[in-house]
Chain A
Amino acid sequence: MTREARPPLLKRQHLLAIDDITSFEAICILDLAERYVEVSRQTDKRQLVLQGRTQVNLFFEASTRTQSSFEIAGKRLGADVMNMAVANSAVSKGETLLDTAMTINAMQPDFLVVRHQSSGAVELLAQKVSCAVINAGDGQHEHPTQALLDALTIRRHKKQFEGLTVAICGDVLHSRVARSNIHLLNKLGAQVRVVAPSTLLPSGIGNFGVEVHRSMETGLKGADVVMMLRLQLERMTGAFVPSIREYYRFYGLNAESLKLAKPDAMVMHPGPMNRGIEIDSDVADGVQSVIREQVEMGVAVRMAVLDALSRNIPGGGNS
Chain B
Amino acid sequence: MINPAKHSSRRAYVNASVVAPAQGLNGKGGILIEDGWILDVGPKVTKDSVGTSATVTDCKGLTIIPGLIDMRVFTGEPGTEYRETLASASGAAAAGGVTTMIVMPNTQPVIDDAAIVDFILRRARDTASVRVAPMAAITKGLNGEMMTEIGLLREAGAVAITEGTKPVASANVFRRALTYAKDFDLLVVQHVEEPTLSSGVMNAGEAASRLGLSGNPGMSEVIMLERDLRLVEITGARYHASQISSLLSVEVIRAAKARGLPVTCGVSVHHLVLNENDIGAYRTFFKLSPPLRTEDDRRALVDAVADGTIDVIVSGHDPQSADTKRLPFAEAAYGAIGLETLLSAALSVHHNDGVPLTRLVEAMSSKPAEILRLETGRLAPGAPADFALVDLNLSWTVEEDVLRSRAKNSPFEHRTLEGRAVETIVAGESVFAYAPR
Contacts and interface: CB of A to CB of B under 8 A. Distances in A.
Contacts of A121: 328
B209 A124 contact: no
A114 to B, nearest CB: 11
B234 interface: no
B282 A123 contact: yes
B281 A120 contact: yes
Interface stretch (A50-58, A136-144, A221-229, A262-270): A136-144
A124 to B, nearest CB: 6
Interface residues of A, number: 25
B206 A207 contact: yes
Contacts of B207: 204
Nearest to B323: A96
Q: Is the interface of A mostly helix, strand, loop or mixed?
A: mixed
A119 B329 contact: yes
A119 B212 contact: yes
Interface in B193-249: 199, 204-215, 217
B209 A118 contact: no
Interface in B318-343: 323, 326-331
Contacts of A202: 208-209
Contacts of A19: 210
Contacts of B199: 237
Interface string A110-143: 0000001011110110000000000000111110
A96 B209 contact: no
A120 B327 CA distance: 9
A124 B330 CA distance: 12
A139 B207 CA distance: 15
Contact of B329 (A98, A118, A203, A208): A118
B interface residue count range (under 10 / 10 to 19 / 20 to 34 / 35 or more): 20 to 34
Contacts of B217: 203
Contacts of B215: 203
A119 B213 contact: yes
A14 interface: no
B208 A179 contact: no
Given A98-B326, A119-B330, A124-B328, A203 B212 contact: no
A142 B281 CA distance: 13
B206 A204 contact: yes
A202 B213 CA distance: 10
B282 A124 contact: yes
A11 B209 CA distance: 26
Contact of A140 (B212, B281, B326): B212
Given A119-B213, A119-B282, A203 B206 contact: yes
Interface string B275-308: 0000001100000000000000000000000000
Contacts of B330: 118-120, 139
A97 B329 CA distance: 12
Nearest to A175: B212
A311 interface: no
A84 interface: no
B206 A97 contact: no
Contact of A119 (B204, B205, B211): B211
A203 B211 contact: no
A139 B327 CA distance: 14
6 contacts: A118-B329, A119-B330, A120-B329, A120-B330, A124-B282, A203-B204
Interface of B: 199, 204-215, 217, 281-282, 323, 326-331
Interface of A: 19, 96-98, 116, 118-121, 123-124, 138-142, 176, 179, 202-205, 207-208, 237
Given A179-B210, A205-B209, 19 more contacts: A96-B326, A98-B326, A119-B282, A119-B328, A119-B330, A120-B328, A120-B329, A124-B327, A140-B214, A141-B212, A142-B212, A179-B212, A203-B204, A203-B206, A203-B208, A203-B209, A204-B205, A204-B208, A204-B210
